[in-house]
A and B are shown apart, each in its own frame.
Chain A
Amino acid sequence: MNKALLEVSGLSMRFGGLLAVNGVSLTVREKEIVSVIGPNGAGKTTVFNCISGFYTPTEGTILFDGEQVQGLKGHKIARKGMVRTFQHVRLFKDMTVIENLLVAQHLQMNTNLLSGFFKTPSYRAAEDRAMQNAAFWLKKVNLLEMANREAGNLSYGQQRRLEIARCMVTHPRLLMLDEPAAGLNPNETKELDELICNLRDEFDVSILLIEHDMSLVMGISDQIAVINQGTPLASGTPAEVRDNPDVIKAYLGEA
C-alpha cells in the first residue's frame, strides 16, 4: 500500500451555532483518487476549504506528508504541493489563457524584481521554462490553439480544463477538485474522467475529488468517503460504498 500523503482526522468546523463538519476523517495515499460524496449541503466543500487553508478548522488535525498544515495560510499550503479548484470556475477571466498559467508559476520563476526590470538572461530563461511548461499543459488539456484568448471567452468545458491545467503547472502532489464535472455534458465528463486518471498514472499526482456525478465517482475512485449532514457516514472502495445500506438510505431516503 502506498504511503499516506494527506491524513485528515477528527476535522470539525463550526460557524457560530452551526456545526457544518463534525469529526470527518480521510486519508489520501500517494497516486490514489479519493472521492468525497454526500447529499447537497453535507459539508463537502467546507472540508475542502479547511484542507486548502481557506478556513481554519475548529478542531482536528490535517497532516500533509507528515506535517501539520491546519491553520496555515493558503499560499503556504499551496507551496507544499496542494492545489485546488472551486465549485464555480475561478479563472482570471480578463487575462489570456497563457497568462493564467504563467501566474500560477510565479514561484517557480525564481527571479527578483530587478532582474525582471532589466530582463537579464536568467529571467528570460525562467520565462522560457514557464512558457514551455504552460504550453505542455495546454496541449495536454487540448487548449493550445486558445493560448492567446481571454480566459473568460472560453466555453464552460474549456474553462474547467484550463483550471486543471493551471493547477498542474505548479507540479502539485495533491490535486483537489471540487465538482469538476458540474455543468459538463456526458462527452466532456468522459474526457474529464480520462484526464483525471491520466494525471494520476502519468504524473504521480494524488487526487481528492468532490463530485455528484456517480458514474464518474464510481468509475475512477480508489476510495470513497461519504458524509451526510457534516458527519462521516461510510467509507471504503466504490463497491463497498455502493452496497452500504446507510448510504443508500441517505441518498434515496427510507424505503
Chain B
Amino acid sequence: MLRVTNPMQEQFLYFVQQLLNGLTIGSTYALIAIGYTMVYGIIGMINFAHGEVYMIGTYIAFIVIAGLTYMGLESMPMIFMAALLVSMVVAATYGFSIERVAYRPLRGRTRLLALISAIGMSIFLQNFVRLFQGSRDIAIPTLISGGWTFGDASTFEASLSYMQVIIWVVTLITMAALTLFITRSKWGRACRACAQDLGMTNLLGINTNNIIALTFVVGAALAAVAGLLLGLYYGVVNPYIGFIAGLKAFTAAVLGGIGSIPGAMLGGILLGITEAMTSAYFSSEYKDVVAFSLLVLVLLFRPWGLLGKPEVEKI
C-alpha cells in the first residue's frame, strides 16, 4: 500500500472527496430538475408539486424494498430493479394525475392560477403522505454497502462507496435514455415541437394535451429514480424531503437555463458540487445559503441560465 504523507496530496484527496460527493448529490438534483425544465419548456409553468413526486417515489421504493426483503428475497439487484420499476410507474401515475386534476382544467387562464394550484397540490401531497405514513423518519437498512478507499487512514482517506458509483451509473443511463427519447423518437420530436410552438403543433393534428401529459409522466418517473437513489444513499425518508429537494432541483433548472434539458443536467451537477465544496471549506450550515445565493445571482445577471436562450416572448 502506498503511504501518502505529503500534505499537498492530502489536500488533493480531500478535494477529490468533495468532488465525488458533490457529483453524487448533483446527479440526483439533475434528475429531478429535468421534470421542472420539461414542464416549463412546454407550458411555461413551474410545477411546484414536483418535489412531492420525488418524495413519493422514495416512499414507494422503500415500501417495495421492505416488502420484498420481508418476503425473503435476497438478491440485491432484483430488489433494486423492482424498487426502481415500481416507484417509476407509481410516480408516473401521480405525475399524470396531478396534471389532469390540478393543471389541465386551468390551462389557458392566467399563469398565476396554475402556480397557486401547484402549491396547493404540493401541500396536499405532503399531508396526504404524512397522514398515511406518519411524520417521523422512516429508515431502511443499507441495501448496498462497501466501497473503495484511497489514501492514508492516519491523515485523510478518500472513499468512494459502491452506492455512489451506482448513483452515477443509473443517472448516466437514465440521462442517455432520455436524450435518445427526446432527440430520436417521434414522441420526443413532438415534445420539442410543443416547446417551440404549442398552438402550431396542435394545428398539425397532434393532440398537445397528450404531449403535455407525457412530459409530466417522464418528469415524474425521473424524479422517482432520484427518489430511490437518494433514499438508498441517505437511508431515511420523511414526508418533508420533497420541499427542499424540489427547491434545489428548481435552482438547478434555473441555473442551467429553465426549459433546457442539457441545462438541467449541468445545473444539477454544478449545484451539487458547489454545495459539497461549501460544506467542506466553509461550513455545512452555509450550504443552502450558498445554493440559493447562486440562484439569486443567476436570476440577476443571466436570467436565461447557462445553457438557456434569452426569452423571446411567445405569442
Contacts and interface: CB of A to CB of B under 8 A. Distances in A.
Interface residues of A, number: 31
B185 A92 contact: no
Contact of A54 (B181, B199, B207, B208): B199
Nearest to A53: B203
A77 B199 CA distance: 13
Nearest to A73: B202
Given A92-B196, A92-B197, A109 B204 contact: no
Interface string B243-284: 000000000000000000000000000000000000000000
B186 A52 contact: no
B203 A84 contact: yes
A75 B189 contact: no
Contacts of A194: none
B199 A106 contact: no
Nearest to B180: A117
B203 A54 contact: yes
B204 A78 contact: yes
A92 B187 contact: no
Contact of A113 (B187, B192, B196): B187
B206 interface: yes
Interface stretch (A20-28, A94-102, A137-145, A246-254): A94-102
A77 B193 CA distance: 19
B123 interface: no
Interface string A103-121: 1101101010100110000
A170 B204 contact: yes
Contacts of A113: 187
Interface string B188-202: 011011001101111
Contact of A102 (B189, B200, B201, B207): B189
A111 B186 contact: yes
Contact of A107 (B181, B185, B206, B208): B206
Interface of B: 181, 185-187, 189-190, 192-193, 196-197, 199-208
